[in-house]
Chains A and B, each alone.
Chain A
Amino acid sequence: MTCGYQSDVPTVRSLTLHLQAGNILCLLGPSGCGKTTTLRAIAGFEKLSAGEIHLQGEVLASTSVHLPPEQRRVGMIFQEYALFPHMNVENNVAFGLYHWKASDRQARVQAMLDLVGLQGLEHRFPHELSGGQQQRVAIARALAPKPLMLLLDEPFSNLDPDMTIKMRKELYRVLRQTQTTAILVTHDHEEAFAMADQVAVMQNGVLVQCDTPETIYQQPSCSFVAEFIGQANTIPGIIQNGKIETEIGTIPNQSDFESQSRVLVMVRPDDIQFTPSESGPGRIESRQFQGSQTLYSIRLKSGQLIHCCMKPIPVYNIETSVIVHVTTSHTILFPQPALS
């Protein structure tokens, strides 16, 4: 699909995604990369300018078809939940069950409230609920009409960090229990990894990589993905004699890059260690204590900055000269972009 707000500058270009029923897919990317636009196109709030969207064999949208949102059976949870402020919890959840028989409707509302653990709060109004409770209502409301698919737009961005982790588990449980197919938009890779069967990374309206969380982490397809899903060092090197020569030492070459080609080596901070040494080529520039580990930033002679994680004890002072070792045999290589 391709779509956007202006015809000449599509926000999302030639995006192709396939999702198995019952699976959870995370759209991951920095703000402004087109994740939300993609979601809104699937929900029917944006029109496609090219491509097609299918759901269980039915065409939801194409260049000639645009099924209105109310006919798509695609549920959506909005970033600010969009709970109707003039209706209580019960009526919010029942809103999508307009055509149901009254008795069925009541039973369904109760079942949904049980599912998200909101029994007894039926008559509260949205402003009388905490952030987490509001989100539970939003989930119950979206799932009540039995949508074929659920869309979630940054569902945790309005919660404080403790609540986020709690609600993430809760949402995961609900989605699995109901076997709901879901697409979740987020800019937080940890969230994506925790929730998703598949992660789709987007950049500037283009899909860069779509894989399982493990593959995305271990085999990012480009340096953008590598850096976006966690601190990664990308160090320039040259392949010589079947090995990669870099500023921090020689690393075995497992790729099929030709000899003499210039490459970028991706090394995660966990895979780099250092030892203090008077004559070492690196110098500790900053230190960030993170609890179970400490993140050091080391400036090499060439000016390259690399990050590495060390045990919190002992503490090394800033300005200490160090020697850096790569402790992994497992590295990812990217072709080095031509120097301009």
Chain B
Amino acid sequence: MVRHIQLTPLSFLGIGIATLLTFPLLYVAYSAFTGDLSQAGNLWNTRLPELVTNTISLAIGVSIATLTLGVSTAWLITRYQFWGRAFWDWGFVLPLAIPSFVLAYVYTYLLDRGGPVEQSWQWLAGADVHLPSPYSFTGALVVMTLNTFPYVYLLARAAFQNFNLSFEEAAQAMGATRWETFFRVSLPLIRPALVASMFLVVLYVVSDFGAVSLLRFQTFTYAIYQQITGRFDYQSAALLSLLLVTFALVFLFAERWFRQQSRFYQTSGRVRTATPKPCSMGQNLAITLSFLMIFVAAFGLPVFLLIQWTLTAWTNGEVGSSFWTYIGNSVVLSATAATAALALGTPLAYLASRFPSKLHIACLQGAYIGYVLPGPVAALALLMLFTDVIPFLYGTVFVLILAYLIHYLPAGLQAMESALQQVNPNLEEAARNLGSKGFRTFFQITFPLVRKGFSAAWLLMFLLCIKELPATLLLRPIGFDTLAVRVWLEASEELYQLAAPPALLIVILSIPAVFLLSKKNWQAG
């Protein structure tokens, strides 16, 4: 007797949601290859080599830089006792509160020709010395590194905290020096965490639009945006999008594969963790100085400038009533999107965790497609779908919310899944055993128990939506500006003071999400 696949009404709901979330991408793939492909050949010859080189070199550069920065800070913080260690422990997570486009706009001011950094450098090294322009590879590298190294820091810190000290002691007992131990034992053992953080960073870099667009550095996302807005060439944009998504998918599978290959098992039983070693005066000074530099560059200085500009703008009366409209737009839009995401994500996560049939897992995986879908690509997908198929909805808030859903449901879905998995299915079975139907069981037993996790998921998605830039730029109804869009528009015109109030507000709003992230269990594997 075959154990038949159970297709409940809930299953159909799950299939429907998964289709809604994946269909736009499929439509892009379809339309990329239908129609006139001569444009594509042109694109292939002219722009592609530059885009590929730029995107890949930026990804590699940022990876190396963030690894160095993230691992060394995590190592020092987990292993040594120095001044202000408790502060640095969470202080290095704060840079995540600054969206890439805000950091980029601050750095275009700082690094510009004749800007404050170059001036002070010339004061030190002579008037003829010039620094590289921010509108370059170097600019993008600096901004993206400062923006993403906390991911490496978080994962490496978790790995070092759960690290079994016995391995290092064994190495040292066999005569290895401290450096040898670090490079031959400690680092290889946390490799899964490093690979996972690399994955996060690379995905972040290749899908970032805000920073590269303000720094005018030609990567795939920026080129896709230009094809859409500048040339109205949707087909080329679709081809570029497909290439980018393919790259992300290959990378995703490579990471999965690697993670399976390198499953290191910490010896079972008691794990001996390190007690931080005290530092000498000199070491204290050196660590404090270098940490301060990183922190000022990644968080302190940008926030200081934003506050200063905001105050100036405020006293000059440049913060008008339209500012409050933007706040309202952002909040209402993001709250609606986050609530919708929660409503759509719940059946998917529930089905996959309670009835893990192939179909249900496939629905869940489908919802995760947004994970490898950069903002401009998600926007393009909806743009093409709605202009071609349902034109009367195009240019409405509905399309924008759908873009947010596709793009950010994966982030919330992870939190929702783990919350649901923490509820022992026995509890639901006990409820049903006591005569309670499925609906009542969910609302009286399951939901109260996952409320915390679901609230966190909602908050995370809400704040990601507040920060969303490319899809909002491309899909917003005419005259409907959000905080993020205002920052970008003003910053593109180099109107630093006007961009500051919305930017500062986004940073302040993002801080709770950052703490949620830092509390999350960052163990890889």
Contacts and interface: CB of A to CB of B under 8 A. Distances in A.
- Decide whether A and B are members of one complex: yes
Contacts of A84: 427, 430-431, 445
Interface stretch (A41-49, A167-175, A269-277, A290-298): A41-49
A99 to B, nearest CB: 8
B468 to A, nearest CB: 34
A95 B433 CA distance: 10
A70 B445 contact: no
A49 B434 contact: no
How big is chain B's contact interface, by range?
A: 20 to 34
Contacts of A5: 3
A49 B1 contact: yes
A75 B435 CA distance: 9
Contact of B433 (A50, A75, A99): A75
Contacts of A49: 1, 3
A98 B436 contact: yes
A68 interface: yes
A68 B440 CA distance: 14
B261 interface: no
A96 B434 contact: yes
Contacts of B1: 7, 49-50, 63
Chain A interface, DSSP helix/strand/loop, else mixed: loop
Given A7-B1, A7-B3, A86-B449, A80 B434 contact: no
A6 B430 contact: no
Nearest to B436: A70
Interface string B408-440: 000000000000000010110111111111001
Q: Which of A69, A84, A86 has the most CB of B within 10 A?
A: A69
A49 B4 CA distance: 10
Nearest to A50: B1
A60 B436 CA distance: 17
Interface string B436-460: 1100100011001100000000000
Contacts of B440: 98
B2 interface: yes
Contacts, number: 71
Interface in A34-88: 43-45, 47, 49-50, 63, 68-71, 73-76, 78-80, 82, 84-86
A233 B190 CA distance: 53
Interface residues of A, number: 33
Contact of B2 (A7, A43, A85): A7
Contacts of B431: 84, 95
Contacts of B448: 86
Contacts of A82: 424, 426-427, 429-430
A142 B426 CA distance: 14
Nearest to B426: A82
A78 B432 contact: no
A145 interface: yes
A85 B433 contact: no
A141 interface: yes
A68 B150 CA distance: 50
A68 B436 CA distance: 10
Contacts of B427: 82, 84-85
A71 B426 CA distance: 17
Nearest to A76: B433
B432 A69 contact: yes
B437 A76 contact: no
B514 to A, nearest CB: 29
A70 B432 contact: yes
Contacts of A86: 448-449
B58 to A, nearest CB: 48
A29 to B, nearest CB: 21
Nearest to B437: A70
A76 B432 CA distance: 10
Contacts of A7: 1-3
Contacts of A43: 429, 433
A69 B436 CA distance: 9
Contacts of B433: 43-44, 69-70, 74-76, 142
A45 to B, nearest CB: 6
Contacts of A45: 429
Contacts of A98: 435-436, 440
A96 B429 contact: no
Contacts of A76: 429-430, 433
Nearest to B433: A76
A43 B3 CA distance: 18
A82 B432 CA distance: 12
A263 to B, nearest CB: 40
Contact of B424 (A69, A75, A80): A80
A46 to B, nearest CB: 10
A60 to B, nearest CB: 13
Contacts of B432: 44, 68-70
Contacts of A47: 3
7 contacts: A68-B432, A70-B434, A70-B437, A84-B430, A85-B427, A86-B449, A99-B435
Given A80-B424, A99-B435, 13 more contacts: A7-B1, A49-B1, A69-B432, A69-B433, A74-B433, A76-B433, A78-B430, A84-B431, A85-B449, A86-B448, A98-B435, A141-B430, A145-B435
Q: Which 5 A-B pairs have the closest CB atoms?
A: A96-B434, A49-B1, A82-B426, A82-B430, A69-B432
